[in-house]
Amino acid sequence: MKYLFFNIILLFGLISNAQQTPAKSQTEKVIIQGATLHLGNGKVLENTNLAFENGLITSIGNESDLPTGNIINAAGKHVYPGFIVPNSTLGLGEIDAVKATIDQQEIGDEVPNVRSLIAYNAESQVVEASRLNGILLAQITPQGGTISGTSSIVQLDAWNWEDAAVKIDDGTHLNWPTLFKSKNVSFGLRVYSEVNKDYSKEISEIKELFLQVKGYDLKSNNSRNLGFESLQPLFTGEKKLYIHADLEQEIIDAIKFSEDLNIKDIIIVGGSESHKVIELLKSTKTPVLVKRVHSLPNSEDDDYDMFYKLPAFLMQNNILVGLEVSGQMDRMNSRNLPFYAGHTTAYGISEEQALQMITQNTAKVLGIDDKYGTLEVGKSATLFISEGNALDMRTNQLTDAFIDGRKIILKSHQTELYERYRDKYAK
């Protein structure tokens, strides 16, 4: 009985702190005046106007004949495209200690037909908190097993997963076999303990599975194989293959595997030792979603600042680079994405290049750059206004944010607590 009582209290607690009502569609033109525009493609426009209508950016510049509308005076402020967090479990879990709120992993080792999108909780308080730092889009990604399932891309102001969906089933996630068996020690640090003697066997099993998928024909089979059908778009380029691999040999083997099977579009996720295979990445034009830069070295031979400077090294070698946040407490740490990007500016990247990694570059990797990732006429008005540098936690203070032109509410459980105790101690 006491457990039932606890669950009822928890349920009402979650309901009472549900996310704010999603914004309604844009009804009037909005003109942001006099701001510094960070376009997301490496360019900056000072003291410039930006206008959008019906959810789309209609003009950028100081045209004297701009029509009247809702004018926002943003003099001295900064405008950015909405930040995009890839490979995230945002909305797939809420309270780690309450199993019923966690839905990021399905039972089974190979579950390619599992769709993370339908498990997405649009009213997650973690999602709500991420928006306050400019995270307006996310790739919702399943975890676990060898083939975790299919990710989708969502915008972070919605009633439900149907409303949130931006790109449905964008790619399949394959956790590449590891050369070494490892274990978690603390703070996300993994220690490699012994050689994985089954490494080659595990690769062969994956290859055999994909060969079966290539040969699968629904018409000639008595029963449907939903897993095979989910993987077949990888061979036509309709779906991307995200291969989670870290070590040098693992990345080499993963790319060779894709070439042998003629898989059209792959992305390396993690890529801790991607700096060791630069020529291969360049020749195959393989993008890398670099693991959280606030990570400890993988081995005693690595530089202590390896993850800090890895994005700069890859970008300097013309690799398409985005930043991802997987690791310990990745849902909660999704909101720190802009500050991870900001950290890289101390290691050979300009602020605008760092911005590209969480806007334009990630949009290209995810295949949504036709609408999102940069401030351009004709693209979605998914953007925000900040008091200062959005890559610096001291000055990233959002005053306004818009998703597809809809002005969203910038409040969360944390801001409510802040206001509550600010008022208490101000007396």
In this chain, the answer to whether the domains covering 21-82+373-410 and 83-372 adopt an identical fold is no
Q: Tell me the pLDDT tens digit for each residue of 124-164.
A: 888 898 999 999 999 999 988 899 999 999 999 999 999 99
**Is the confidence at residue 385, as pLDDT, over 60?**
yes
So where are the chain's domains?
A: 21-82+373-410, 83-372
Residue 238 has phi, psi (to 5 degrees) of -75, -20
CA distance 370 to 363: 8
- Residues counted in the chain: 427
CA distance 105 to 379: 34
Do residues 333 and 325 make contact, with C-beta atoms less than 8 angstroms apart? Answer: yes
**Is the confidence at residue 9, as pLDDT, over 60?**
no
- Give Rg (Cα) of the chain: 22
How much is the pLDDT for 66?
A: 61
**Is the confidence at residue 251, as pLDDT, over 50?**
yes
DSSP secondary structure letters along 93-111 = -S-TT-GGG--S--SSSB-
End-to-end CA distance of the chain: 43
The rounded mean pLDDT for the chain is 88
How much is the pLDDT for 183?
A: 61
How much is the pLDDT for 301?
A: 81
**396, 415, 359, 380: which is closest to 77 by C-alpha?**
396
DSSP secondary structure letters along 293-304 = SS---SSTTS-T
Can you point out the beta strands (E) in 94-184? 135-140, 147-155, 165-175, 180-184
Alpha carbon 67 to chain centroid, angstroms = 36
The count of other CB atoms within 10 Å of the CB of residue 139 is 28
Query: Hey, what are 384's tokens?
Result: 């925000």
Q: Tell me the pLDDT tens digit for each residue of 266-299.
A: 999 999 999 999 999 999 999 999 998 988 887 7
Residue 21 DSSP code:
P
CA distance 215 to 235: 11
Q: Tell me the pLDDT tens digit for each residue of 174-193.
A: 999 998 876 655 555 556 56
CATH class of the domain whose range is 21-82+373-410:
mainly beta
Tell me the one-letter amino acid at 333: N
Which residue do the tokens 């960070």 mark? Answer: 38
CA distance 246 to 122: 31
Model confidence at 14, in pLDDT bands (50, 70, 90)?
very low
Computed from CA positions of residues 289, 295, 298, 301, in that sequence, does the dihedral angle turn out positive or negative? positive
CATH class of the domain whose range is 83-372:
alpha beta
Alpha carbon 218 to chain centroid, angstroms = 34
Percent of the chain with pLDDT over 90: 63
How much is the pLDDT for 4?
A: 47
Q: Tell me the pLDDT tens digit for each residue of 76-91.
A: 999 999 999 999 988 8
